[in-house]
Amino acid sequence: MPPIISVVGKSKSGKTTLIEKLIPELKKRGYGIGTVKHAAHDFDMDKKGKDSWRHKAAGADTVIVASRDRIAMVKDEISVSLESIEKYFDGVDLVITEGFKKENRPKIEVCRADRNKEPLCKNDKTLFALVTDTDIILNVPTFGLEEIEALADLIEKKYL
């Protein structure tokens, strides 16, 4: 299984933006990247009325939509954890998750001055990097919001 790292932080702290910048930097270095977005609430990927939505609404436990070069799956799971979805990421070198702050996985926290007074994971032993626009000092490497290459260097050294 590929290594899994989680990008965590408060809502609207810039987690998605950081991941959007990290993916092309790591891809440029030749790595295959998978991602998982943690949704705090139930969600539907499909639009009401579409065939796959109708299959799910009819009671299918798993629905896969497949085209010539892409698949998407909606599957009912009792308790979703990173461990339960690892199997879907064969063929990639690294999985980056957005969220899953309670999982025991390596974490990068995004901490923004306008969103946090202090990091959420300041006492979390799995925190390995902090990305911030503050002067907060923790016992982990700290990066500015635009220091994507340096952060990618750290990820590459530790996990790839």
Residue at 57 is within a domain: no
CA 62 centroid distance within chain: 22
Say if strands 142-143 and 127-132 run parallel, antiparallel, or are unpaired: parallel
Domains of the chain: total: 1
**Separation in Å, CA 61 to CA 13, 74, 76, 145, 152:** 34, 8, 5, 41, 38
Residue at 111 is within a domain: yes
Residue at 114 is within a domain: yes
Both tokens of residue 126? Answer: 């799995």
Percent of the chain scoring above 90 in pLDDT:
56
pLDDT, position 53: 81
Q: What is the CATH number of the domain that holds 31?
A: 3.40.50.300
pLDDT, position 45: 66
pLDDT, position 77: 74
Domain that holds residue 30: 4-41+77-159
pLDDT, position 82: 81
Rounded to the nearest 10 degrees, the angle between the axes of helix 148-159 and helix 15-28 is: 70
Diameter of the chain measured on Cα atoms: 53
pLDDT, position 7: 96
SS3 label, residue 41: coil
Residue at 60 is within a domain: no
With a cut of 50, which residues of the chain have pLDDT below it?
none
Residue at 49 is within a domain: no
Residue at 96 is within a domain: yes
Residue at 51 is within a domain: no
SS3 label, residue 157: helix
pLDDT, position 104: 93
Go through the chain and tell me how many residues it has: 160
